[in-house]
Structure 1
Amino acid sequence: MKYTCEVIIDKPRDEVIKAFDNPDNMKYWQKGFVSFEHVSGEPGKPGAESIIKYDFGKRKMELIETITFRNLPDEFHGNYQTKGVVNIQKNYFKEENGKTRWTSEAEFKFSGFMKIMVFFMGKKPFKKQTQSFMDDFKAFAEGNPKYGTE
């Protein structure tokens, strides 16, 4: 399953990248975020692995993030793996008249029981979650007081 989401952030790209590239900021724009723990490789570089934990009420999730490509401020790619799911995420950042266009290309690969679940759910909930994270990041990066920017 593949899809693309996009958002225009009313901030210059260098400011957007500074906010995006700091794991301490994830709590401000990723609902359900619990923790980020670097486990191997050079932090922030290709090959680095981290464990990201989420709590969505009745559903808890632990992802292994592997950075696959980093050419900031232009691109950041990573794989996010949990039981039955691999999310291949490609993020592109383009400066446009003092604003930043963030384009996220997502590809999901499923195995086991998740293949059956996705057959019935379709891509809509996945795309909606991605767009929600991106919209919340936009609000955080633009300084929405709701997010308590640091």
Structure 2
Amino acid sequence: MKYLKYTLGVLAILVIGFLLTGLIKNELSYNCEIMVDRSLTESWAVSQDEGKMADWLDGFQKIEYVSGSPGTVGAVSDVYFTNDGQEMTIRETITEIVPNQSVSMTFTSDFMDMDYKLTMKSINGKTKISTSTTCIGNGMFSKSLLAVMGNSIKDQEETNLSNLKKTIEENSKNYSLIEN
């Protein structure tokens, strides 16, 4: 009985500590960047090509447009992913877009809300791609989980950018006739 009390006490302290972590650090922000050995125009076109998204976004399945014109400010879409066999839907809203330069979006889900900005800049014929992300959990458990697993979320963004770099550099589709 004595050990049960100690075990429950330790467990209670761990749960309280976990929840307090979400109170102390209730927002996760990070930046990532990568250089791509392709032109800005091609890099932008590949990143915006829905047909190539599964090549660089882990678990990407499809996009369903909800309202607005795709690729314009105010456009709302449901983006479907699978993660360990589970389907997940994220609502994406474009808040700002400057073709061949940047796109800002908000993503909302049951778990968290995210402000995301992808920026591209031409440097000596190559493209520097940068992202800036801020996540806020929806609820105490989500905030605490974000605080604890923040590095893995940033690691996923770095993986996505690495996959985007590969997708762009291996691209064989001609985007030269596409006007943005």
Normalised to the residue count of structure 1, the TM-score between the two structures is 0.91
Residue 10 (1) aligns with residue 37 (2)? yes
Structure 2 CA distance, aligned partners of 1:73 and 1:34? 25
Alignment correspondent of 1:46:
73
Query: Once the 2 structures are TM-superposed, how far is the Cα of residue 14 of structure 1 from its aligned partner?
Result: 0.3
2:178 is matched with none
- Pairwise CA distance, 1:21: 1.3
Residue 63 of structure 1 corresponds to which residue in structure 2? 90
The answer for the alignment partner of 1:23 in structure 2 is 50
For 1:105 and 1:118, the matched residues in 2 are separated by 16
In structure 2, the residue matched to 1:100 is 127
Residues matched between the structures, number:
145
State which of 144, 164, 175 in structure 2 corresponds to 1:116.
144
1:116 positional shift: 2.3
CA distance in 2, matches of 1:125, 1:90: 19
Bigger shift: 7-16 or 108-117?
108-117
* CA deviation profile, 1:43-84 (whole Å, cap 9, x unmatched): 110100011111112443110010000001111110111113
Which 4+ residue blocks in structure 1 deviate beyond 3 angstroms? none
Aligned mates of 2:146, 2:48 — CA distance in 1: 30
Tell me the TM-score normalised to structure 2 length. 0.77
Q: CA deviation at 1:111?
A: 1.8
Question: What's the offset of the Cα at 1:90?
Answer: 0.8
**What is the aligned-residue RMSD (CA, Å)?**
1.3
Q: Does 1:142 align with 2:164?
A: no
Which consecutive residues of structure 1, in runs of 5 or more, have no partner in the other structure?
none
1:55 match: secondary structure:
strand
- Structure holding more helix per residue: 2
Q: What percent identity do the matched residue pairs reach? A: 26
**Which moves more between the two structures, 50-59 or 88-97?**
50-59
Which of the pair has more CA radius of gyration? 2
Greater Cα shift, 57-66 or 81-90 = 57-66
What is the Cα deviation at residue 37 of structure 1?
1.1
* Letter paired with 1:115: K
Give the structure 1 partner of residue 13 of structure 2. none
Q: Could you say which structure has the higher strand fraction?
A: 1
